[in-house]
Structure 1
Amino acid sequence: MNLLQNWKKDIPASIVVFFVALPLCLGVALASGAPVFSGIIAGIIGGILVGLLSKSTIGVSGPAAGLVVIVYTAITDLGAYNIFLVAVVIAGLIQIVLGLLKAGVIGYYFPSSVIKGMLCAIGISIFLKQIPLAFGYTEKFSFKNFDASYITTGAIIMTIISLAILIIWDNFLGKKSNFFKLLPGSLIAVIVGIIYQITIGDTNHEVFSIDQDLLVKVPVPETVTDFLGQFTLPDFANGIANPMVWQIAFTIAIVASLESLLSVEATDKLDPLKRQTPTNRELIAQGIGNSFSGLIGGLPITQVIVRSSANAMSGGVSKLSTIVHGLLLVLSVISIPAFLNLIPNAVLAAILLVIGYKLGNPKQFLDMKKLGKDQLIPFVVTVVGILTTDLLKGIIVGLVVAVVVSLIKSYNNSHVMLVKEGNVFHMNFAEEVTFVNRGAIVKELDGLQPGSYLELDVRKTKILDYDIIEYLDEFKVKAKNNNINIKLISERGTVDNPDSFREFFGYVLVGSAH
């Protein structure tokens, strides 16, 4: 695809992603206990370098909230940020090796219900985390210690104005004119927020003012030396031989790879063109991005569903939107950091509230319910698991439950037992019958009364585990003792009371189609 082919959609989307990514880059850095500028570096590398190398058309990479706890603990344990950067560089090299070893297929083994649950949980989490910012809460927010006196009226006004702009733009103006589609509502909300802060917010008015602490905070270097001083080089001399550095590197590599692969799966589902991302190529791209980020002082990088979903929902079509968002991050921190610092956090909160609602729309629960319990249960468990623990643990719990539900479904769908008349029973085996199904089959056959007549139909069966064949030979002995007659119906013909199921199936069904 020509990179400039869809620029009319990609450029507006890149602006939305930029305004979503900027506060996230800063927030992840602060929460990780790292220099604030390290988040910007990771965002730039994730946008430009990974954007160029990756084959993900609408995926956007950058510093991930899912790695915050790991990064914070690592920096604390190692005692120096420049030593931690050595682990980031090594983690990137490990990811490159994983990609070359074709480990990207791991992402394909996650059920759709778990991926949808992950998207929904992230949406709910995003929505909830924006509430304090939307209300301009000036202290650390806690439901237990909530105090209405910390709420800023000016921030609430700005949130309401921003939400009104976004909703009107998406639901009305954007549908009436191509002009409004080209110009994103989020950009208008940001511009209005800056104008508000310049004219009203930056005053001492009791109702309308917005405190400086409730504005975006981008570092403002005064000289070139100050700007270059924000880059940190890794301390290879003290880090490369440190066993803890290697342990942290492997941890980051594995977790970052899983997060990226799951984000790829989720992002591909959001892609209106349903294009598939080559996962091995993605691991290599992420690995190169992480190594380069670590070399110049940046945080670890993953493909991030928040940025990616913002890209998809804003109309992004190709990698151009990802790359341009990275360029915008570069331009912003070089040319207009002071101007960016006029943006109220309430505006960004409003943008993320809309994105969070779209991802975590309650309607999804009803949609999953219509698909059946085998889809609903893993979906709900994944959502609850992520919200009550963290992203990785929630996904693992959801995956385990999905496997269990699948096994139960397989257990119950191995066969169909029909009563033809009186004591004549007809049992159809499914296309694939494995050891998982043994319990259900044993329960049915052991329930047959003496003198019964069983027709065992295996004409549709292509795979039959040895465990099942072994049990059938055991049942044959019991059937003879209880005067139960067995008619085996197969593509080879019909056999009454076969002498040995092992001999009959040995050359027909075990491990191969017939």
Structure 2
Amino acid sequence: MNSSNPFKNLKADFPASIVVFFVALPLCLGIALASGAPLFSGLIAGIIGGIVVGALSGSQVGVSGPAAGLAAIVLTAITALGGYENFLVAVVIGGVIQILFGVLKFGIIGYFFPSSVIKGMLTGIGIIIILKQIPHFFGYDVNPEGDFAFFQIDGENTFSDIFNAIDQINIGATIIAAIGLGILILWDTVLSKKGKIFQLVQGPLVAVALGILYFVLTKDSETFGIIDDHLVKVPVPDSFDSFIGEFRFPNFAVIGDYNIWIIGFTIALVASLETLLCVEATDKLDPLKRVTPTNKELFAQGTGNILSGLIGGLPITQVIVRSSANIQSGGKTKMAAIIHGFLLLISVILIPTLLNMIPLSVLAAILFIVGYKLAKPALFKKMYIAGWKQFVPFVVTVLGIVFIDLLWGIGLGLAVGIVVILIKSFQNSHFLHIEDNSNGKHRIKMTLAEEVTFFNKATILKELDGLPRDTFLELDVRKTRYLDLDIVEILEDFSEKARNRNIDIRLISERGIVENPDSFIKFFQLRPKNAELITRTSN
């Protein structure tokens, strides 16, 4: 990939940017609505996330903008801080802290999350996208497009919304959504392989164009028409002054309030974690398997949040919905993200009235495809075949994200992953092999693992205490590089029991073979400055 020429892959990046634009537009507005913020603040965050963060980021396919995961924090913070202008100060502070995170090289945190949890995150988000778009697909728009929470403020939940939508189907919205979905599937499976024109002109653009045409032709029909509440709602300025009036500016007079700093730090922490996890997931989806420099990403996100806060925008993170839409649409470089930002900017200035003719049901159809590609049923089968150590954290992450929220799901998946590691560490501390009977004694060989810690005390103690009388035990520690003091003490105690039960011990190490060692502690040699750590030294 020749990064010196940003326009080299424009024929792939431009069509992808159009798809990302249509995915991002309703999400920017919906997340702002769900956050209790001005609608225009979501568009500001989307524009800066595309143009500024896209240009500074080291990610070639990641797309940034306002994130649904921060909506609850923003909603609470605006009220707690006494207004949106006060909240913007916290956004700026959060951006500064993110830059500091990058300088301190905190970007490595994202690499400590297991692959099963990352795949669970992608799948969970895909399922949420599909479930949340079903009501919009049928023309039921009680909740905003950016509301990804399972339990909602109005007492409803994701599934009750779906049942309500089925009872209140809007015929016009459903018809154009079904047509749009058919076009997208046809484009993706058949037409995109027939000629370059179908690769240049993407299916989502055709679906949106037909949606606008359908609205214009049927707007006077009571049966097949689409009501205004089911259309995109971009603020339409009357003049240049009214456009400028949409921007808000932070009230730095409250910067001394410690609550501002607490919320600023919270925004920085949550936004950084979501970004790093998205980076990890996006790198896995990238067909070229490029690796994003995470510390540089934190710097880019921090810069974006400072600028967004200064002119009235919501907090920004890298967002998996837009990033995956970019990858699935063939985006090759960061130009796709940057162009999508310019498309947002140009459209809200020049054609807001045209944008307000786009049915939300058509955009729901586009997001159906995005969600399905993230949560393909084949992935569940693949993870199941990989074994329970992969499948259990994967499923827990998916369920946590769908039924609670993104951070809870990831946290639960990570916790289960750690438990799995501990269980396997408990099980794999040693290998016990019963060979035969020789000279009237049971001959048993026990090989210790490379690292044996206090987690393995119970299983090793159980095996040693279970040895019958008149046993010949061969203890092989040639592969062991770390042996905890707790384990050495168990061996020391066992050597006393062994003499009383007529058990002979042969210790095999890199230093040779020792028959019935007098002291395991002396043999493994305590480190004088660290009584907790016992290591085996070799000649």
TM-score by length of 2: 0.92
1:219 to 225, 235, 248: 235
Q: Once the two structures are superposed, what CA deviation does each residue of 1:51-105 show, in whole Å capped at 9, x if it has no partner?
A: 1111011011000000000000001112210000000000110111111011111
Cα deviation for residue 432 of structure 1 reads 2.0
Residue of structure 2 in register with 1:157 after alignment? 175
Is residue 100 from structure 1 mapped to residue 103 from structure 2 by the alignment?
yes
1:1-80 to 2 correspondences below 5 Å: 1=3, 2-80=5-83
CA distance in 2, matches of 1:236, 1:291: 13
Is residue 256 from structure 1 mapped to residue 271 from structure 2 by the alignment?
yes
Residue of structure 2 in register with 1:465 after alignment? 484
When residues 130 and 171 of structure 1 are mapped into structure 2, their CA distance, relative to the original with a 3 A threshold, is: same
Cα deviation for residue 435 of structure 1 reads 2.0
Is residue 243 from structure 1 mapped to residue 268 from structure 2 by the alignment?
no
Residue of structure 1 in register with 2:313 after alignment? 298
1:195-206 to 2 correspondences below 5 Å: 195-200=213-218, 202-206=219-223
Letter in 1 for 2:427: N
Cα deviation for residue 434 of structure 1 reads 2.0
Q: Once the two structures are superposed, what CA deviation does each residue of 1:376-435 show, in whole Å capped at 9, x if it has no partner?
A: 000001111111111111111111110001110111112110100131101111222222
CA distance in 2, matches of 1:484, 1:230: 84
Aligned residues: 511
Does structure 1 conserve the Cα–Cα contact (< 8 Å) formed by 2:524 and 2:536? Answer: no
Letter in 2 for 1:449: P
Larger mean CA deviation between 30-39 and 359-368 belongs to: 359-368
Is residue 286 from structure 1 mapped to residue 289 from structure 2 by the alignment?
no
CA RMSD of aligned residues (A): 1.6
1:363-378 to 2 correspondences below 5 Å: 363-378=378-393
Cα deviation for residue 366 of structure 1 reads 0.9
Does structure 2 conserve the Cα–Cα contact (< 8 Å) formed by 1:117 and 1:382? Answer: yes
CA distance in 2, matches of 1:50, 1:172: 35
Percent identity of paired positions between Structure 1 and Structure 2: 60
CA distance in 1, matches of 2:43, 2:536: 55
Letter in 2 for 1:182: L
Residue of structure 2 in register with 1:385 after alignment? 400
Letter in 2 for 1:255: V
Residue of structure 2 in register with 1:188 after alignment? 206
Residue of structure 2 in register with 1:324 after alignment? 339
Residue of structure 2 in register with 1:435 after alignment? 454
CA distance in 1, matches of 2:537, 2:69: 45
Letter in 1 for 2:359: P
Cα deviation for residue 491 of structure 1 reads 1.8
Does structure 1 conserve the Cα–Cα contact (< 8 Å) formed by 2:177 and 2:365? Answer: yes
Is residue 345 from structure 1 mapped to residue 360 from structure 2 by the alignment?
yes
Does structure 1 conserve the Cα–Cα contact (< 8 Å) formed by 2:138 and 2:166? Answer: no
Is residue 475 from structure 1 mapped to residue 490 from structure 2 by the alignment?
no
Letter in 1 for 2:521: R
CA distance in 2, matches of 1:343, 1:511: 68
Cα deviation for residue 171 of structure 1 reads 0.5
When residues 139 and 39 of structure 1 are mapped into structure 2, their CA distance, relative to the original with a 3 A threshold, is: closer
Is residue 453 from structure 1 mapped to residue 465 from structure 2 by the alignment?
no
Letter in 2 for 1:126: I
CA distance in 2, matches of 1:10, 1:501: 65
Is residue 484 from structure 1 mapped to residue 503 from structure 2 by the alignment?
yes
Does structure 1 conserve the Cα–Cα contact (< 8 Å) formed by 2:525 and 2:536? Answer: no
Is residue 506 from structure 1 mapped to residue 525 from structure 2 by the alignment?
yes
Secondary structure of the corresponding residue to residue 495 of structure 1: strand
Does structure 2 conserve the Cα–Cα contact (< 8 Å) formed by 1:139 and 1:150? Answer: no
CA distance in 1, matches of 2:515, 2:75: 70
Secondary structure of the corresponding residue to residue 146 of structure 1: helix
When residues 373 and 161 of structure 1 are mapped into structure 2, their CA distance, relative to the original with a 3 A threshold, is: same
Structure 2's unaligned 5+ residue stretches are 144-155, 528-532
Residue of structure 2 in register with 1:312 after alignment? 327
When residues 329 and 513 of structure 1 are mapped into structure 2, their CA distance, relative to the original with a 3 A threshold, is: farther
Larger mean CA deviation between 457-466 and 479-488 belongs to: 457-466
CA distance in 2, matches of 1:301, 1:513: 52
Residue of structure 2 in register with 1:210 after alignment? 226
When residues 149 and 477 of structure 1 are mapped into structure 2, their CA distance, relative to the original with a 3 A threshold, is: closer
CA distance in 2, matches of 1:272, 1:147: 37
CA distance in 2, matches of 1:177, 1:502: 74
1:274 to 272, 289, 292: 289
Residue of structure 2 in register with 1:404 after alignment? 419
CA distance in 2, matches of 1:497, 1:147: 76
Moved over 3 A (4+): 138-145, 507-514
Residue of structure 1 in register with 2:148 after alignment? none
Letter in 1 for 2:112: Y
CA distance in 1, matches of 2:52, 2:536: 47
Secondary structure of the corresponding residue to residue 318 of structure 1: coil
Q: Once the two structures are superposed, what CA deviation does each residue of 1:303-362 show, in whole Å capped at 9, x if it has no partner?
A: 000000101111111101010000101100011100111110011000001111111122
When residues 394 and 149 of structure 1 are mapped into structure 2, their CA distance, relative to the original with a 3 A threshold, is: closer
Does structure 2 conserve the Cα–Cα contact (< 8 Å) formed by 1:138 and 1:152? Answer: no
CA distance in 1, matches of 2:537, 2:71: 50
Does structure 2 conserve the Cα–Cα contact (< 8 Å) formed by 1:463 and 1:513? Answer: no
Cα deviation for residue 147 of structure 1 reads 6.7
Does structure 2 conserve the Cα–Cα contact (< 8 Å) formed by 1:231 and 1:296? Answer: yes
TM-score by length of 1: 0.97
Cα deviation for residue 444 of structure 1 reads 1.1
Does structure 1 conserve the Cα–Cα contact (< 8 Å) formed by 2:140 and 2:165? Answer: no
When residues 345 and 114 of structure 1 are mapped into structure 2, their CA distance, relative to the original with a 3 A threshold, is: same
Q: Once the two structures are superposed, what CA deviation does each residue of 1:158-183 show, in whole Å capped at 9, x if it has no partner?
A: 11101100000010111222221222
Residue of structure 1 in register with 2:149 after alignment? none
When residues 479 and 362 of structure 1 are mapped into structure 2, their CA distance, relative to the original with a 3 A threshold, is: same
Secondary structure of the corresponding residue to residue 245 of structure 1: helix
Cα deviation for residue 204 of structure 1 reads 2.3
Is residue 84 from structure 1 mapped to residue 98 from structure 2 by the alignment?
no
